[in-house]
Amino acid sequence: MSYSISKLTLSVLALLQLNFLTQAQTELTSAEIENFQQQVFEKAEEVQNLHGKFIQTKHEEFLSSPAESSGRFYYNTQNQLNWSYEEPFAMEILFTNDKLFLTENGKTREIDVSAYKMFDQLSELISESINGKIIQQQDFEIAYFKTENFTQAVLKPKAETQQLFSKIELFFNANDLVEKIKLVESEESFVMIQLKDLQVNQPISERVFEVTK
C-alpha cells in the first residue's frame, strides 16, 4: 500500500514539475516571433546610445563557485563600446574605430585585433547583443521562448567552428532591451552577463570613448 502511495506521489510530482516547466518557458508562435522581431528592430533603430551597470558571472566545472565581476558599460551606434570592470579589479576594455585598447594599472595598450580575432568577435557579439541586432544575423538558428519576465532568444551558430560559443541566450525585458546575456561554451562552462540600471539615449561623456594616454 505504501509503495502504491509513494509511486502515485512521485507521478503527481513529476506531472506538477512538467506543468511548471511548461508554464515557465513557452515557445513563441510564428506570428509572435514576427511581432517580437519587429519590436526589437524598431527599438534598435531608436537606440543611439546605452549605458548602465553589469554583473558578469563565469561558471566553470573546475571552479568551486562562480567567478563574479562587475562594472559599468557605455555603448553607442558609432561602433564604440567601453566595458569597464570595477570589482574585483579595475580594468577598462575600449572598442573604438575597429581598434581595441586595454587599460590596466594606469597603463593603456592597443591589442592587435587582426592577431586576436577572438577579441574582434567578442566586441561585435557584445555590441550586437546589447542593441539586439544580433537576431538579424543569418549565421544563427534562433528559437524564441516566453518566460515570466523575459522573451528569450536562443541562438545556435550554423557553423560552430567559426564561433566562440556553442550557444547564446538573450533575455529581452518588457521594453525590448537585452537585460541578460548567456554565452555558452559547454554545459559546464558559460558566462552570464546581467545588465542593470539601463539608460537609453541619455548624455554620455565623450571621454569614456577616448583612449587614455
Q: How far apart are CA 111 and CA 85, in angstroms?
A: 17
The pLDDT of residue 6 is above 60: no
Count structural domains, the chain: 1
User: Residue 99's pLDDT is what?
Assistant: 86
66: CATH: 2.50.20.10
Q: Is 103 helix (H, G, I), strand (E, B) or coil?
A: strand
Q: What residue type is assigned to position 165 of the chain?
A: F
Q: pLDDT tens digit string along 37-49? A: 999 888 888 889 9
Task: Please state whether beta strands 190-200 and 178-184 pair in parallel, antiparallel, or not at all (unpaired).
Answer: antiparallel
What residues contact 23, with CB distance under 8 A and at least 6 apart? none
How much of the chain is in helix, strand and coil states, percent to nearest 5? 30, 40, 30
Q: How confident is the model at residue 160 (pLDDT cuts 50, 70, 90)?
A: low
pTM reported for the whole predicted model: 0.80
Q: pLDDT tens digit string along 170-201? A: 999 998 889 999 989 887 889 999 999 999 99
Q: How confident is the model at residue 19 (pLDDT cuts 50, 70, 90)?
A: very low
Q: What residue type is assigned to position 57 of the chain?
A: T
- Residue span of the structural domain in which 126 resides: 2-209
The pLDDT of residue 93 is above 80: yes
CB atoms inside a 10 Å sphere around CB 177 = 20
Of 51, 49, 99, the closest CA to residue 73 belongs to 51
